[in-house]
Amino acid sequence: MQSNNISYFNARSKRLLLATLGLIWVVRLLMLAQIPLIDNSESRYAEMARKMAATGDWVTPRYIGNQPFWAKPPLSMWLSGAGIKLFGENEFGARIFIFLASCAILLLLYSWIKGIKGKDTALAATFILATSSAFVITSGTVMTDLPLCASTTLAMVAYWHAIHRKSKWWGMVFFIALGLGMLAKGPIALVLTALPIGIWLIGSRRLIEGIKCLPWISGVLLALAIALPWYVLAEIRTPGFLNYFIIGEHWDRFLIKGWNGDLYGNAHSEPPGTIWYFGLISLLPWTLIMPYLIFKIPRVFQNIQSEEKPYLGYLSAWLVSPLLFFTAARNIIPTYALTGIPAGAILFFELTALTNDKTTNRIVIRYLKWGAAASTILITSTWLLFSYFPDRMHKQSQREMVKYIESRSDLKEIPLSYRGKPLCSAWFYRKGQVNFIDDEGIKKLFCNHHPDLLVVPARTDSAQPPLIHDHFTQIATIGRFSLMRENVNQNSDLVAAEKGNP
C-alpha cells in the first residue's frame, strides 16, 4: 500500500497534541517512582526481579521462600532486574525499562503509520494509544503484559513490511519478535501473532503469498536461538517446569473454571465473553466515541477507498484476535486484551476520519481535543491524588509499613513477620527479610528469646485475638494492617512456666 499523506491538523493543533502527549508522559514518568508497588501481581514480579539482580541467577525466577516460579518466562523480570541493577532496589528501577518498552511501541507505531498514511494520522493514532487506559496503566507496571505487547506489535509491523516490501530483513525481524514473545509470555505470543495474520491472509485471499514472504528456515532458527536456550535451562534447573507452564498455564488456566492448579495465587473466574468488555475499557476514554461510530457505519463504509481495505482489514484482524481467542476463556484479566490495543488506537482514528466526506474536518479535531482534555485531567488527577493523599495507596502496598519500621532505630533491626498470606511488596521493600507465618508460627516466636515484630490485619487492640492481644503491644496502624511488638519478657516467663509444668 502506498503512502497516503492526509493533513488533518494545522500547526496549532499539532502543538496542542504534542504538548499534551509530552505532559502526560512526563507525569507518567514521575509516577514510576511515586506509586508504591501494588500487591500482589506487580510486587510479585518486582520481588522476583530483585532476587535475580541480588543473586545473579537470571535463569530461574524465585517466588516466596525461594520457590521456583514456573508461571511466566523471565523477559519482564530481566527488564526490571536490569533497572534495579542500574537504579537500585526501588520502584523506579523496577519499572523504568517497562516504561521504555512502552515508548518503543509508540515510536514503532508512529514510524509505521507515518509511512502508510502520513504524519497527521501517525500522530493521532500514537496519541490515542499513549492515552488509552490500559496502555497508561501497563506502561509503568511490573508485569508481563507490556513486554508481550511490545513483541506482538513488532511482529505485526514487521510482517506488514515483509509482505508489502518483499523484505527478507523484515521477515527476520518478525521471527526476532516471536522469539522475544516466547520469552515475554510463552506460546501465547505465537498465537496472538499467527491468528490475526492468518485471518487477514485468508480474508484477503493472500495465504500463499503470505506464507512465501517469510524466510522460514533461517527465521525459525533465529527465533529458536533467542528463546530455546532459556526453556532448556529452566527445565534442567527445575524439572517439571515445561509440563506446568505448557499444560497448566496455557490450557487448564483458560478452559477450566476456577482452575485450582495455580501454584502462585487464585485463578480468576469470569463469564465467557468478558474479554470483550475488557477490550472496551482498555481503550477508554476513546471508546466513548463508539456510539457515534456505530451510528455512522454506513458513511464509513461508503468512504473507504479500495486501496485502504487491506490496511483496515489488517488492523481489524489485529484488534479482534485476542478478543476472539479469549472469548471462551474464564480465567482472564483485563490486560489480556492489550495486544490488540495498538491496532485499536489506529482503527478508532481512521474510522472517525471516515465519518466525514472531507479529508480535513472539524469532527476529527474536536474528537482529539476532547480526548486530550479527558486524558490530561484523568492522569494529572491521579498523580495529584497520589502526591497529596498517599494514604490512599497504603491499603494496596506495604511500602509505608516498611518505611515506618526502618525509620525507627528501635525497630528496624528486629525480625519482622506477617500473619497470614504473603504480601510480596513486604518482601520487596524489606529486601527479603520478612517471614509469613500462621498461628503455630506465632507461638514459636515466643521461644526464640528475642523480640519480634508482627504485622496483622488492623483491628483495635482489644479486638485482636487472644494469641495477639495477650502477647503483643500495638505500635502503629498503617492502611489495613497493624504493627505489633512482642512482649518478650512476658512470653519468656510464660514459656518457662509451661516447661516447668508439663
Q: What is the pLDDT of residues 1-22, one digit of tens each?
A: 555 666 777 777 788 888 888 8
pLDDT over threshold 80, residue 389: no
Say whether the peptide bond before residue 272 is cis (omega within 30 degrees of 0): no
Q: Is residue 436 helix, strand or coil?
A: strand
End-to-end C-alpha distance for the chain, whole angstroms = 87
**If you compute the radius of gyration of the chain from its CA atoms, what whole number of angstroms results?**
26
Q: Specify the range with the lowest mean pLDDT, choosing from 59-68, 326-335, 388-397.
A: 388-397
Strand partners, 473: 485
Question: Residue 214 has what DSSP assignment?
Answer: S
Average predicted confidence (pLDDT) for the chain: 86
Could you report the per-residue pLDDT of 235-274, keeping only the tens digit for each?
999 998 988 888 877 776 666 665 566 666 665 667 888 9
- Cβ-in-10-Å burial (0-12, 13-18, 19+) of 125 comes to buried
The set of long-range contacts for 107-112, using a CB threshold of 8 Å and a minimum separation of 24, is 108/153, 108/154, 108/157, 109/153, 109/157, 109/342, 109/345, 109/346, 112/157, 112/160, 112/161
Max intra-chain CA distance, the chain: 94
Cell matching residue 264: 502462585
Cell matching residue 9: 491538523
Cell matching residue 468: 495477639
d(CA 118, CA 6): 6
Could you report the per-residue pLDDT of 339-348, keeping only the tens digit for each?
999 999 999 8
Buried/exposed code over 65-97 (b: 16+ C-beta within 10 A; e: otherwise)? eeebbbbbbbbbbbbbbbbbeebebbbbbbbbb
Looking up cell 517471614 gives 435
Q: Are strands 416-419 and 435-437 parallel, antiparallel or unpaired?
A: parallel
Q: Cβ distance 191 to 217 under 8 Å?
A: no
266 φψ region: left (φ > 0), alpha (ψ -120 to 50), beta (else): beta
- Taking each helix axis from N to C end, the angle separating 188-203 and 145-165, rounded to the nearest 10 degrees, works out to 30
Q: Is residue 430 helix, strand or coil?
A: coil
pTM of the model as a whole:
0.90
Phi, psi of 271, deg, nearest 5: -65, 145
Could you report the per-residue pLDDT of 359-376, keeping only the tens digit for each?
445 666 777 777 777 777
